[in-house]
C-alpha cells in the first residue's frame, strides 16, 4: 500500500506494484496527486484479496491514467470520502471531507473499472474516459 497523506503536487510514473497487501494507491486528504503508466499486478490470493488499484479519499484534483490493473481486489478504482473505512487510517471519520475532481483515463482493469464506494459521501465531478474491462 502506498499512502499519500496530505500531499500536494505529487506525480508517480512508470511504477509496477505486485503482491500489494491492501489498497494499492491511496491519496488521503491530498491535492494534485497524479498516477501515470502504472502496472498493478496480481497479489497472493487468498491472503491479499482486497487490493484495489486506486482509492482516493478526501482528495481533490487527482488522476489515474494510462495504467493496467490486474490485482485480485474487487475494484480497479474506488472513490471514498467522509467516513472511516479502515481503522489504521486515523481521522477519516471526523473530517467529512469530500473527494472531488478525480480523473480516470485509459485504465484497463480485470475487475470493476470504477466504483463510488458506499462509504463515499459528497464526491463530485469524476470524469471517466476510455476505461475498460477486458473481460
pLDDT per residue as tens digits for the range 99-128: 888 888 888 876 656 655 544 455 555 555
- As beta bridge partners, residue 128 has 104
Q: Could you read off the pLDDT of 45-70 as tens digits, one per residue? A: 666 667 788 888 888 999 999 998 88
Q: Write the secondary structure of 56-125 as one string of H (helix), E (strand) and C (coil).
A: CECCEEEEEEEEEECCCCCECEEEECCCCCCCCCCCHHHHCCCCEEEEEEEEEECCECCEECCCCCCCEC
Global pTM value: 0.75
**Do the domain assignments include residue 134?**
no
In a domain, 135, yes or no: no
Region of poorest pLDDT, from 37-41, 96-100, 126-130 = 126-130
Total number of domains constituting the chain? 1
Domain assignment present for residue 37? The answer is yes
Amino acid at each position: 500500500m502506498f499512502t499519500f497523506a496530505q500531499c500536494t503536487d505529487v506525480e508517480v510514473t512508470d511504477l509496477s506494484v505486485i503482491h500489494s497487501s491492501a489498497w494499492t494507491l491511496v491519496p488521503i486528504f491530498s491535492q494534485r496527486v497524479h498516477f501515470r503508466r502504472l502496472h498493478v499486478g496480481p497479489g497472493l490470493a487468498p491472503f491479499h484479496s482486497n487490493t484495489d488499484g486506486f482509492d482516493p479519499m478526501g482528495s481533490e484534483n487527482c488522476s489515474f491514467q494510462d495504467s493496467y490493473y490486474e490485482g485480485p481486489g474487487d475494484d480497479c478504482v474506488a472513490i471514498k470520502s467522509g467516513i472511516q473505512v479502515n481503522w489504521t487510517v486515523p481521522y477519516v471519520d471526523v473530517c467529512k471531507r469530500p473527494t472531488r475532481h478525480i480523473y480516470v483515463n485509459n485504465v484497463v482493469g480485470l475487475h470493476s473499472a470504477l466504483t463510488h464506494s458506499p462509504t463515499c459521501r459528497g464526491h463530485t465531478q469524476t470524469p471517466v474516459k476510455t476505461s475498460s474491462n477486458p473481460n
